[in-house]
Structure 1
Amino acid sequence: MTDRVHSSAKPNGAAPAARTATNGATNPPPFPATKSQLYNPTRPPYRPQPNYRRRSQRRRVSCGRCFCLCFFWSLILLTALLLVAAISGAAVYVLYRPQRPTFTVSALRIGRFNLSTSSDDITHLTTLLNLTLSTKNPNKKLTFLYDPLTITTISNQVLIGNGSFPSFTSGPSNITFIRSSLSSVSQVLDAESVKSLRSDLKKTSSGLPLKIVMDTMVVVKMEGLKSKKVGIRVSCEGIHGQPPKGKSPSVASTSNAKCKVDLRIQIWKWSF
């Protein structure tokens, strides 16, 4: 009786290993395909997008750096210019010792002063004044070149007369006399101005308080150099006068007259 050998049974649930014999070798099971091996004809290939955010950040940083550098160098340049101007001004002051010109009222004669009221209760003012001033240049190395002068006479904010004087040159340590006629023809006055003038005319001891204002432009010449034009205003106060009696003009009191010279610096449309 022939014996039969039976192979041992496999455990339940275990699948037999798949083997493929080729020349006595056993091949491993195939691996799943990678993403690069997958191809979808309906989907375009993947392309990396450029990082615009980093570029914009770099541009912002570079622009901010340029702005800081420009501001820094501009500040240094402005400081250097101011320093040079200050040194130049100090040098000019030490060498030339510049001083403002002085003005003095020599005489003021009132030839006409008429207040007339018409039937329609309108008051007109007609005046004629002859003014004589003198200006002195106290500098020994500077020359003043004056533009034409505009001269105005005022009494308590009321315009009395206008005049002018042509341009002239005042050399070092020179005295120049200024003579001008100031007039006003049929100037219409309001009630407040008429009241103020009539009140001052009744004061026989002092009379009308008069103020003389002159405006002009001046160029300062230093040897071969010339400055830009600078505006000046000359204000002379302390003058009192009375209307003339008859045909002879009256002489105003100028013994207490004092003149002040102020610079008129104009920036855009404003004057200081």
Structure 2
Amino acid sequence: MSDRVFPSSKPTANGAAPPATKPPLRPPYRPQPHHRRQHRSRRNYCCCCCFWTILSLLILALVAAIAGTAMYMLYRPHSPSFSIPSLRIHRLNLTSSSDSSSNHLTTLFNFTVTTKNPNSHLTFFYDPFVISSFSANGVFLGNGTLPGYISEKKNQTAFKNVVVSGSNDLDTDSVTSLKSDLKKKSGVSLKIQMDTKVKIKAGKFNTKKLGIRVTCQGFKGDVPKGKSPSLATSDNSKCKVDLRIKIWKLTF
């Protein structure tokens, strides 16, 4: 009796060879565990740094506020005051060509400036002043200078014969605006602006130089006739002192 041989797999219907067996699959990728403890330590370190930084800034702000309050209570600082008791118009001439293509303005003003230091413990050290004059509508009329000086405690300083002059070509808009001011029966409204820097001394304490702007307005005067100057009225004039703080390229 002969032996029978059984094939290991059944042949396909068309007699082709049996399909090859697939290689075993690789084990699935398992991500490495994160170092949570290391991330937590870094996060805690950043939080601690932020906390101590904010706390230090708050302490510095508190110390500065206490020091400022103590300085204020000790010295009782007051802003200096400025006034212009008299202003004379020597020249205010506007000339235009026949075709109005060119317009030229010449001006000459003369006035007195008075400044007071009302403080008993503060001394002001002023740099030279740059003076500018304008009409009520902002047309530039002229400029001048005022020398620097020291304003002692409880002191009053006066400068007489301060000269402001100008010789400028005006554009069409400035001419129209200035002509409307010249036609007013009450006179031309004028504004004087003075810019400088000041250092303040209180005992042994000295501040850095601070920019200030003094704006005086409320003057009205007529165009002079002949060689005699016209006196501008200054009954309603007021001068305001503003602190000018410059941060980068911006001035407040």
TM-score > 0.5 by shorter chain: yes
Gaps of 5+ in 2: 1-30
One of 228, 238, 244 as aligned partner of 2:218 = 238
Query: Could you say what the CA RMSD is over the residues aligned between the two structures, in angstroms?
Result: 1.5
Find the aligned partners of 2:128 and 2:45 in 1 and give their Cα distance: 51
> Relative to structure 1, is the Cα distance of residues 129 and 62 closer, same or farther in structure 2, using a 3 angstrom cutoff?
same
Residue 52 of structure 1: CA displacement? 6.8
Distance 1:230 1:60 in 2: 49
1:183 & 1:59 partners in 2: Cα distance? 74
TM-score normalised over the length of structure 2: 0.83
Per the TM alignment, residue 70 of structure 1 is displaced from its structure 2 partner at its CA by 0.8
Partner of 1:36: none
Aligned length: 219
Indicate how the Cα distance of structure 1 residues 219 and 53 shifts in structure 2: closer, same or farther if over 3 A, else same. farther
Q: Determine which of 136, 141, 152 is the counterpart of 2:132.
A: 152
1:184 corresponds in structure 2 to 166
Q: How far apart are residue 125 of structure 1 and its match?
A: 0.3
Give yes or no for the alignment of 1:267 onto 2:252: no
Partners of 2:196 and 2:109 lie apart in 1 by 20
Match of 1:256, SS? Answer: coil
Please report the TM-score for the alignment, with normalisation by the length of structure 1.
0.77
Out of 251, 254, 266, the position equivalent to 2:234 is 254
> Partner letter of residue 64 of structure 1?
R
3-state DSSP class of the match of 1:248? Answer: coil
Instruction: Report matched runs for 1:145-224 at 5 Å.
Output: 145-155=125-135, 156-179=137-160, 180-185=162-167, 187-204=168-185, 206-224=186-204
CA distance in 1, matches of 2:33, 2:113: 78
CA distance in 1, matches of 2:33, 2:216: 72
Bigger drift between 84-93 and 211-220 goes to 211-220
C-alpha distance in 1 between matches for 2:248 and 2:119: 31
Percent identity of paired positions between Structure 1 and Structure 2 = 51
Structure 1: unaligned runs, 5 residues or longer: 1-50
Shift in CA distance, 73/52, structure 1 to aligned 2, threshold 3 Å? farther
Counterpart amino acid of residue 77 in structure 1: S
Counterpart for residue 57 of structure 2: 78
- Shift of residue 196, structure 1, vs aligned partner: 2.1
